[in-house]
Amino acid sequence: MLHAHLPFVRCRENEHCLEERWLYEAITETYIPLLRVLGSLIEDKVDFRVTLSLTPTLLEMFRDDLLRRRYLSYLDNLIELSEKELFRTRRDNALRGLARMYRKRFLETRDLFENSHRKDLSAAFGSLRTSGKVELITSAATHAYLPALMPEPAAVGAQIRLGADYFGKTFGARPGGMWLPECGFSPGIDRIAKEAGINFFFLDGHGISGGRHAIYAPVRTHAGVTAFFRDAESSKQVWSSISGYPGDFDYRDFYRDIGFDLDKEYLRPYLPEGIRTFTGLKYHRVTGGSAHKEPYVRQKALDKAEMHAAHFVESRGKQISSLHKTLGRRPLVTAAYDAELFGHWWFEGPEWLDAVLRRGAKEKAFRFTTPSEYLSEHDGIDTLAPSLSSWGEKGYSSTWINGANCWIYPHLTRAAGLMKLLTRAQVNGSDLRKRALAQAARELLLSQASDWAFMMKTGNASGFGKDKFREHMGNFLHLHREINGGRVTRKNLERLERQNNIFPGLDYKIFG
């Protein structure tokens, strides 16, 4: 189970927005490599299965013409920089081969994006569904941490319904399941999900009681939604940078980038607003815990990825065989990860994933499946009531509700209540007022994104997280005052519609 998500960031007035690069980096290092891996597996008729959630915010950015144009410019800059690096490293035996590798990768990526995928990654991922090997599912509209919104259930309903509706409009079919953002669950969310037509979702393992083996079979909630439970063992083996595979000394070091190493004047044309940041050209391997880093050797890293894939498949085989004996039935292991781990954080991740799926397809101890496929084959699923849980630190809500970010929730609860009142009061009105109501709904949805609270907690881009929350909440409150006062400022509304243009055609009544 791979969860692909980025927050909606679109700096319309700023051609060199640093935060937009999150999208461009992820397209280059994760999403296009993932399409390449899955496409190759399908072409080779490998009997694999993958479940992939694509959040509405990510899909909206995939489809935005402004961001598509800027992504091509981003790639052109990388190609130009890599050509300069070919010259700079021409006498360095350790680095010149890596400079060639990067130039080749960037050129291939550009060709795939512009020609093979026709600049439409939504359609590219959608085409995988016809293979029967890849199950696409949705997520909440703007990836809100849903337990924190439960004081105003209309907000949770809007997030879930819009997520399901958006998927249907994008791919022409309703989603079977949903990735609850951050695996965040509290009682009542299952009822709202069921009303939106969601058949299954994923929870963290401690969201269910009944012993440590309870997670190896799904349960049905009292509302009728099936919950699959993330397996901590298979997760830690891959995700952990300390005890997991990505920390191996032969893999490429994520943090050692020429954007921080080389002369700033040399790099200036390739740095957004002259700010040192990641360029994607990294010449060193993990090496060890010290600041000293040895040059990256690509073939050794690929060999290690193949070895780790073999180890993972063997480990799952042993785990499943042991569980089968203990439980007296065939267990289901749900291995769930952020998609961006593969390629972005862990450079060799796509090659590892490819090897795991190819090896696993030949494994006798287990087979791959998808949630919908599993449910079509199994009756008699137990009915139980999952508890409040998430896959965040300590397993509950401390990542998204803590001293660094708890101040946002009274605002979110009050704003959701105000939006609900607006929805019910505005039965009739001018086109301008209806547009203002729709934009108010967009701004509220954007303010609810779990990403802002996460940034405030971790300290990484904390200021940006605060700014984005205040921006969207401020926009909502301004529009609310104008709508309530019966005087909408056309110029301001048009500015917001151009800037935060997510979910065109949004029906503001979704909050009712």
Q: Is the dihedral of CA 321, 323, 325, 330 positive or negative?
A: negative
- Annotated catalytic residues are 182, 338
**Residue 158 CB partners (closer than 8 Å, separation 6+):** 141, 441, 445, 510, 511
Helix (H, G, I), strand (E, B) or coil at 346: strand
Q: What is the DSSP string of 89-140?
A: TTT-TTTHHHHHHHHHHHHHHHHIIIIISTT-HHHHHHHGGGGSSEEEEEE-
Give the whole-angstrom CA distance, residue 4 versus residue 57. 10
Give the whole-angstrom CA distance, residue 249 versus residue 288. 6
What is the length of the chain? 512
Structure tokens at 319: 């785990």
Give the whole-angstrom CA distance, residue 496 versus residue 442. 10
Give the whole-angstrom CA distance, residue 426 versus residue 180. 31
Which long-range contacts link 101-104 to residues 24+ away (Cβ below 8 Å)?
A: 101/298, 102/78, 102/280, 102/281, 103/79
Q: What is the DSSP string of 405-455?
A: TTTHHHHHHHHHHHHHHHHHH-SS--HHHHHHHHHHHHHHHHHTBHHHHHH
**Residue 245 CB partners (closer than 8 Å, separation 6+):** 237, 238, 251, 305, 308, 312, 346, 352
Output the CA–CA distances (angstroms, integers) from residue 3 to 12, 55, 136, 238, 301, in the order listed: 27, 8, 10, 15, 25
User: Running DSSP on this structure, what letter comes out for residue 387?
Assistant: -
Give the whole-angstrom CA distance, residue 402 versus residue 238. 28
Q: Do 146 and 180 touch, CB atoms closer than 8 A?
A: yes
Q: Do 386 and 204 touch, CB atoms closer than 8 A?
A: no
Residue that has been written with the tokens 């091509």 in this structure: 72
**Residue 147 CB partners (closer than 8 Å, separation 6+):** 184, 185, 186, 189, 388, 390, 397
Q: Do 396 and 389 touch, CB atoms closer than 8 A?
A: yes
Helix (H, G, I), strand (E, B) or coil at 377: helix
Residue that has been written with the tokens 């006798």 in this structure: 364
Q: Do 198 and 160 touch, CB atoms closer than 8 A?
A: yes
